[in-house]
Amino acid sequence: MDFTTGILLPLILGGVGIFTILRLVRRIQARAYLKDAVVVITGATSGLGKECAKAFHAAGSQLVLCGRSGERLQDVLRELSAAADPLKNAHKHHVVVFDLSDINAVVSAAEEILSCVDHVDILINNAGISYRGTITETVIEVDRKVMETNYFGPVALTKALLPAMIKRRKGHIVTISSVQGKISIPFRSACKSRLPLRPLVVCVAFKDQIFLTCAVFTSLIRRFNPLELGRCTAHLKHRGNSGGLGKKLPVGCC
């Protein structure tokens, strides 16, 4: 028996075995984190918000779908029910209709959300509006509307739901932005309106021990898988962190 077969090969096989077991444990932790979690998704009527709803529903989470159109949100609920497996997800999902640009409506919506589900485990700030135009031709009312919807609205909702998270010492805030906010593209300055959310929620993560994921939404997306969010949180907890930054949510790059 030479050195390779007698010592090196068992070490390699042992290392592979340990790595496989750790990956399995991490996956189980991720699924456990998402199952029965209460997830609030803004902008759930279409696009990425709707896909998030499908993915979290499949993971066994209870959903609160938010948007401006109650009819379209009900359509999403019916679509989820049609594809549902009662054995995997028997939760009653909720719909809350409001406009992010109306701060008073946002505060009332937060109260309605907490009356429906008692607490929130995951808040996904997804809703937003876009605008294409030159800075000289864009009237100030448009700039104000964009900022109210893309920044002040999510800030108000986050602040309204945050105290309950802090009280439970448990919560995860996901902020979805655009890669066009990080690079200069003609006629797309409105995308910058999401960038101020990052320093706000970073302060929340470190001061109040709430988990944070800042995701940059691009056109080059692989299908959203909420297990990545669970893996991120499970990894942070495994390291002994009570709060921190999750940077691998697969809706783009962070």
Is residue 133 situated within a structural domain?
Answer: yes
Give, for all 254 residues of the chain, the pLDDT tens digit.
554 555 665 666 556 555 555 555 555 555 667 888 999 999 999 888 998 899 899 888 999 999 999 999 999 999 998 876 666 777 899 999 999 999 999 999 999 999 999 899 999 998 887 767 677 777 888 878 888 888 899 999 999 998 898 888 888 888 887 665 555 555 555 555 555 555 555 445 445 556 666 555 443 333 445 555 555 455 444 444 443 343 333 333 33
Is residue 15 situated within a structural domain?
Answer: no
Helix (H), strand (E) counts: the chain: 9, 8
The total number of structural domains in the chain stands at 1
Is residue 252 situated within a structural domain?
Answer: no
Q: Whole-prediction pTM value?
A: 0.69
Domain, as residue range, for 97: 35-223
Is residue 173 situated within a structural domain?
Answer: yes
Is residue 166 situated within a structural domain?
Answer: yes
Is residue 3 situated within a structural domain?
Answer: no
Is residue 68 situated within a structural domain?
Answer: yes
Is residue 56 situated within a structural domain?
Answer: yes
Of the candidates 37, 36, 53, which has an alpha carbon nearest to the alpha carbon of residue 45?
A: 53
The CATH number of residue 198's host domain is 3.40.50.720
Distances (CA, A) of 138 to 23, 71, 151, 156: 51, 31, 18, 25
The H-or-E segment that residue 144 falls in is: helix 140-147
